[in-house]
Amino acid sequence: MAVPLAGHLQARKKARFHVQVKIGNIPTDIQTPAQVLVEGTVVRIFRSDGNLRPGDRVVFPVWVCRPGDDVPVGPVCGFLDRLASATHIEVYLNGAPPRCDVALDEWLPLETASDEPRLTVEELERQIREARKKKRRWWWFRPNTTP
């Protein structure tokens, strides 16, 4: 079952780290869907408790797939080709560096590092508000189907 946006919002809010990482090579000769280990060097920190600094190495698994794959219920998969062509990844992490885990699949491949985060709590809160508005409007204008 898919996790609601509110669950992803809580994962972002509670994550120990929010960083951008310069990534190394990602294997592409694998059968998908699968988990791959992302290894890289932290280049930007948006949240940390002091145990992760720029220049530190991190390793964490992410789920990847290819278009048309039968994706297992549960994890959110990113496209392998997009991750493999990225130079950086923005990610919410938990755990004890250098080995970490991604907070509820909250990651995004990037072409380059950025000074500002791309995956923000505020943007997800905006998406939740918009989804609630649409749901309310749908129910408000729904025709009466009672016989």
Q: Are 100 and 94 in contact (CB under 8 A)?
A: yes
State the pLDDT at residue 98: 97
Q: How confident is the model at residue 106 (pLDDT cuts 50, 70, 90)?
A: very high
All domains in the chain, ordered by first residue: 5-141 (2.40.50)
Give the pTM. Answer: 0.87
Q: How would residue 82 be classed by pLDDT, with cut points 50, 70 and 90?
A: very high
Q: Between residues 132 and 87, which one has the greater pLDDT?
A: 87
E strand segments, 84-136: 88-96, 99-110
